[in-house]
């Protein structure tokens, strides 16, 4: 049986109105973990540039438990992926759990996740949504399309996979070596291929407030995920080129045949139709190429994933400001 120190990483954005209550629920769960598996815990709380009182709440929690609570604050909103990376870079535990701070990721699952790590030969514990919570039909369709495309380009993709994960120390170290700026956390964890187990994640509702994850966020995440793991879209452009070349040849043969038979192909409608098709294909191709160029543009600048502006324990730890 394995035993170690547990680090909990929680990214937060405008969660000040309820996080104190959420943290007490999480803390009670951590305090009840068996000492045969966990011989101590710490919690890294990352404020992703919140505009409300989230940072003040984190400072208050850190003052009440200076040894176990590590608050970090970004200089601005860098996004959840950057917040997760910052938390993992600061984590010192033998195992790390990443979870949201709104109780949509139920703390009651933590003992089962830890038990799988302690008693089995497991490096990653994934929580997988077996059922969706109440969502609009459009959002459900977008999620379905995202999972369909991800299964097509990433064999390791798990439908319903979430950011609520347990990672062994070696998984965290391996993840931090990956330096790409536009990253997809759950996709990269699966891509690394460590031994993993799954736990069903029941649908949970937020304790208070509204989700910050919108349709726009889902589309951006989907584009990042698809372009990070596959060049299939670029190959799709090539396939379109061959397809329309074949169509052009067939249409050319048809026009010549009509000319040979003394019949004329109607001009205006045909020309407009062909121009619309060709123009649409060209714009689609340029859009796909442009998406990959934007990734290259982001990567070659080599800007840091995030910038830390404050920490409740600046004097205690050497904080990574440029990761």
CA distances from 263 to 121, 247, 260, 271 (A): 75, 21, 7, 17
pLDDT, one tens digit per residue, over 117-174 is: 999 889 999 998 876 556 667 767 777 777 777 777 666 666 778 889 999 999 999 9
Query: Sorting pLDDT into bands at 50, 70 and 90, what band is 323?
Result: very low
Percent of the chain at pLDDT above 70?
82
Q: What is the pLDDT of residues 6-40, one digit of tens each?
A: 999 999 999 988 899 999 999 999 999 999 899 99
The radius of gyration of the chain from alpha carbons, rounded to an integer in Å, stands at: 25
User: Among residues 155, 184, 188, which one has the least CA distance to residue 171?
Assistant: 188
Q: Per-residue b/e over 256-266, b at no fewer than 16 CB within 10 Å?
A: eeeeeeeeeee
The pTM of this model reads 0.78
CATH architecture of 4-229+303-311: Alpha-Beta Complex (3.90)
Span 61-113, pLDDT tens digits: 999 988 899 999 999 999 899 999 999 999 999 999 999 988 889 999 999 99
Burial of 249 from C-beta contacts in 10 A (0-12 / 13-18 / 19+): exposed
Distance CA 243, CA 238 (A): 9
Least confident of 219-228, 230-239, 246-255: 219-228
Average model confidence (pLDDT) across the chain: 82
What residues does 196 pair with on adjacent strands?
124
């Amino acid at each position: 049986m394995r035993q170690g120190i547990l680090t909990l990483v929680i990214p937060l954005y405008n969660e000040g109105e309820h996080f104190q209550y959420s943290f007490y629920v999480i803390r009670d769960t951590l305090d009840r973990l068996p000492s045969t598996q966990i011989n101590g815990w710490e919690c890294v709380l990352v404020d992703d540039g919140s505009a409300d009182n989230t940072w003040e709440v984190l400072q208050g929690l850190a003052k009440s438990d200076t040894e176990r609570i590590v608050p970090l604050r970004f200089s601005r909103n860098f996004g959840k992926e950057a917040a997760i990376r910052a938390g993992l870079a600061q984590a010192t535990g033998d195992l790390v759990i990443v979870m949201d701070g709104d109780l949509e990721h139920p703390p009651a699952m933590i003992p089962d996740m830890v038990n799988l790590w302690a008693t089995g030969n497991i490096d990653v514990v994934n929580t997988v949504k077996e059922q969706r919570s109440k969502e609009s039909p459009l959002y459900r369709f977008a999620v379905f399309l995202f999972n369909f495309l991800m299964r097509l380009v990433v064999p390791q993709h798990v439908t319903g996979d979430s950011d609520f994960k347990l990672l062994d120390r070696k998984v965290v170290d391996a993840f931090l070596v990956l330096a790409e700026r536009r990253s997809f956390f759950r996709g990269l964890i699966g891509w690394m291929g460590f031994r993993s187990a799954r736990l069903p994640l029941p649908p949970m509702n937020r304790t208070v407030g509204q989700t910050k994850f919108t349709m726009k966020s889902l589309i951006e995440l989907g584009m990042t995920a698809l372009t990070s793991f596959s060049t299939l879209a670029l190959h799709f452009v090539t396939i379109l080129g061959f397809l329309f070349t074949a169509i052009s040849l067939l249409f050319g043969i048809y026009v010549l045949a009509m000319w040979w038979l003394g019949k004329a192909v109607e001009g205006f409608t045909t020309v407009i139709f062909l121009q619309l098709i060709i123009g649409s294909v060209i714009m689609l191709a340029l859009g796909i190429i442009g998406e990959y160029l934007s990734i290259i543009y982001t990567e070659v600048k080599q800007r840091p994933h995030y910038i830390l502006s404050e920490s409740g324990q600046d004097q205690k730890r050497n904080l990574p400001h440029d990761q």
